[in-house]
Structure 1
Amino acid sequence: MTEADLKADLHRYLQEAREALLWKLDGLSEYDIRRPLTPTGTNLLGLVKHLTTVELQYLGYVFDRHFAEPVSWFGRHAEANVDMWATADQSREYIVGLYRRAWKHSDATIQALGLDTVGHVEWWSPEYGKATLHRVLVHIIAETHRHIGHADIVRELIDGVVGTREGDGRIASGDQAWWEDYRNRLERVAQEVGRS
């Protein structure tokens, strides 16, 4: 496999995850995309904002390829978790648009640099801080897919939609009654085992 083939393969996994994340917003109200549905506040638009930050830091800053646009939540003195939720003045269009522009910036970095190009991840430990583009790409793919899992659960809690795209064939097909029966069966097994 050539380096170009390897880059294309890694890029495909990253792009599929990017698109799956944005699909999670489709058809939802402004309220639903911002709703904190876990004790730590996980919400769909916040996940998009966070992954925008991840891409701009890892495929920009780490390789000294800074994003031209100012990003209001960047900076050493930023509020904790500020990249995990959208403020009232940060619209869906703004966050999604910024994420798409971050993709372009990231993609330009991927195209311009060799997989063995070394960047500096200052927030990683010294032994791992000097990281190749290959390692950074693997990290971003893992991070993005991890957050797709969060988004899948949050979206399911909102309206029951699951999967990574419309008509995702990897999800068991069943109507609401089937799913209720399935969930109740799992609950019975959990209770039975929990009593032993």
Structure 2
Amino acid sequence: MTKADLRRYLQSGRDTLLWKLDGLSEYDVRRPMVPTGTNLLGLVKHVASVESGYFGATFGRPFEEPVPWIDEGAEPNADMWATPEETREQITDLYRRVWAHSDATIEALPLDAVGHVPWWSPEHREVTLHRILIHMIAETDRHAGHADIVRELIDGAAGLRRPDDNLPPADSAWWKSHYDRLEQAAKEAGSTQGR
């Protein structure tokens, strides 16, 4: 797989993560939807933060803007939610600036370029650009999956991206029937576990 292929996969995850915010109110993009507080704008803030480090400090090309919510001594999970003072535009624009910085690093270095991840344990710290690209694709896609579920909980929108959501073409009645069928299968399986 070429560097261009890897970068295309990374960009696909980035784009998916951002479109999960489309059309939602300020409340809904910040709304905690599970007991751990996972929310859409917080996911974008988190991924922007970690990407800035992986393609920045790791390769001696630090991202020049402050990212105080991930500094040592920052409040736990401060990168996973947006304060009322932080706007959606500030966070999404930060993410896009991080992309530009990351893409410049990816373009400038060969896949076998060696870097050091300062926050990893010493025995795992040395990495290549190839490894970090794979790591960030996985990280971004993992959180895009979280965003997909959170968005579906908010308003039912689901899928990979618009207009190709990669879901079967079906109306709400079909989805309700499908849901009911899965619920029934789960109940049946659950009732046989104790036998």
- TM-score band by shorter chain is over 0.9
> How many Å separate the matches in 1 of 2:74 and 2:84?
17
Return the match for 2:22 from 16, 21, 26. Answer: 26
Within 1, Cα distance between the matches of 2:164 and 2:184?
Answer: 28
What are structure 2's unaligned runs of at least 5 residues? none
> Conserved in 2, the CA contact under 8 Å of 1:119 and 1:133?
yes
State the partner residue of 1:55: 51
Q: Which residue of 2 aligns with 1:166?
A: 162
TM-score, normalising length from structure 1?
A: 0.95
Superposition deviation, residue 180 in structure 1: 0.7
Instruction: Please state whether the residue corresponding to 1:131 is helix, strand or coil.
Output: strand
**CA deviation after TM superposition for structure 1 residue 169, in Å:** 5.0
Taking only the aligned residue pairs, the percentage that are identical comes to 62
Q: Deviations over 1:141-174 (max 9, x none)?
A: 0000001110000000011111121132520121
For residue 17 of structure 1, the aligned residue among 13, 16, 39 is 13
Compute the displacement of 1:127 (Å): 2.6
More displaced, 15-24 or 120-129?
120-129
- Where does structure 1 differ by over 4 angstroms across 4 or more consecutive aligned residues? none
Of 162, 172, 192, which residue of structure 1 is paired with 2:188? 192
Letter aligned with residue 172 of structure 2: Q
1:71 positional shift = 2.3
CA distance in 2, matches of 1:49, 1:76: 17
Q: Does 1:108 align with 2:104?
A: yes
Residue 76 of structure 2 corresponds to which residue in structure 1? Answer: 80
SS at match of 1:119: strand
Q: Specify every segment of 5 or more residues in structure 1 that has no aligned partner in the other structure, as ranges.
A: none
Alignment of 1:34-183 (within 5 A): 34-183=30-179
Letter in 2 for 1:168: D
Give the deviation of 1:52 after TM superposition.
0.4
Aligned residues: 192
Tell me: CA distance 1:163–1:169, structure 2 relative to 1, closer, same or farther (3 Å).
closer
**Contact kept in structure 1, 2:158 and 2:165, CA below 8 Å:** no
1:174 aligns to what SS in structure 2? coil
Residue 66 of structure 2 aligns to a residue whose secondary structure is: coil
Q: How far did residue 105 of structure 1 move?
A: 0.4
Q: Deviations over 1:17-58 (max 9, x none)?
A: 101111000000000000100111100000000000111010
Partners of 1:122 and 1:61 lie apart in 2 by 8
Q: Distance in 1 between matches of 2:35 and 2:164?
A: 28
